[in-house]
Amino acid sequence: MKKNLRVGLLLDELTSNPCRLYESRYFCSKYDIAKSSLSEDIKLVNEILHENGSGRIESIQGVGGGIRYIPGISDEGIRELQAELIEALSDTSRMLGGKYLYTSDIMFDGSNVSRIGRIFAQRFYGLGADYVVTVETKGIPIAAQTAFMLGLPLVVIRREAKYSEGSTVSINYFSGTNERIQKMSISKRAVEHGRKAIIIDDFMRGGGSLKGIQDILGEFDVETIAIGVALESRLPERKKVSNYTSIIIIDEIDEENKKISLSANEGLFE
């Protein structure tokens, strides 16, 4: 097999299986090459990923080691996404009343979902998470993409218990967005005790729903080690959760003057 074809196939397999650890001998056997040739191929793949700003190849030495693709996105790519989201969300026809914006088309757009997932995967890789968790809202596509990029299972918490979920644990929580008591449920089979989770959601105002997710995971002694939200409301300034990462901040929705003010979260570049 010609080297350029082999490098292309290697790149395709690694990027199609993010965070999966491959033993070096797997590729040596598959392409009938020596370890030295594989090392040269991996170097070329790394150069391609670096040039494209789409991640890197991690090489782990010793027993149980190997190679794996770690997804990423360049600062330029993040700023480009932020600019696109701000432009789209600034459209005053999105105003729904009650300081809500229509965002379904944005949250279900494949390009947006892929890039937001890359941002969260790049930021949260290496934290030792066992699950990516979300609640059944518009955040599911982003959470699913983040889980795929990190090579982790996705857990979806229900608003209401479903028969198909089997035995469940339910809690009541106060939603700051709706300013009322709501309920969420999780299957007892969804998570194991003592694990770690990353919570992903599409929007956060006061953090009530995210606090509810933390609390229901706490029923299984599952620790929340990171939170990622696509959109964050500037107000209230004091949220019910901490240690979160957002992409865009909604500074103000002025319904009277038909104006939407948004800003990019510069904390992504720190």
Q: In the prediction, which pLDDT does 178 show?
A: 57
Domain end point (choices 71, 103, 118) = 71
Q: In the prediction, which pLDDT does 137 show?
A: 86
Is the pLDDT at 111 greater than 90? The verdict is yes
Of 18-22, 61-65, 238-242, the range with the highest mean pLDDT is 18-22
Whether 46 and 94 map to the same domain: the answer is no
Query: Lowest-pLDDT range, 157-161, 183-187, 190-194, 233-237?
Result: 157-161
Whether 49 and 85 map to the same domain: the answer is no
Site of tokens 């929007």: 203
Is the pLDDT at 95 greater than 80? The verdict is yes
Domain count for the chain: 2
pLDDT in tens, 211-269: 999 999 999 999 999 999 999 999 999 999 998 999 999 999 999 999 999 999 999 99
Is 154 within 8 Å of 167 (Cβ atoms)? no
- Across the chain, what does the average pLDDT equal? 94
Alpha-carbon distance 25 to 115, whole Å?
32
The strand pair at 223-233 and 196-204 is best described as parallel
Alpha-carbon distance 258 to 249, whole Å?
18
Q: Give me the CATH number covering residue 174.
A: 3.40.50.2020
Domain, as residue range, for 56? 3-71
Whether 118 and 162 map to the same domain: the answer is yes
- Beta strand ranges found along the chain (DSSP E): 55-60, 66-71, 95-97, 100-101, 131-135, 154-157, 168-175, 180-187, 196-204, 223-233, 244-254, 259-264
Is 253 within 8 Å of 218 (Cβ atoms)? no
pLDDT in tens, 126-171: 999 999 999 998 999 999 999 999 999 999 999 887 777 889 999 8
Whether 100 and 218 map to the same domain: the answer is yes
Q: Give me the CATH number covering residue 40.
A: 1.10.10.10
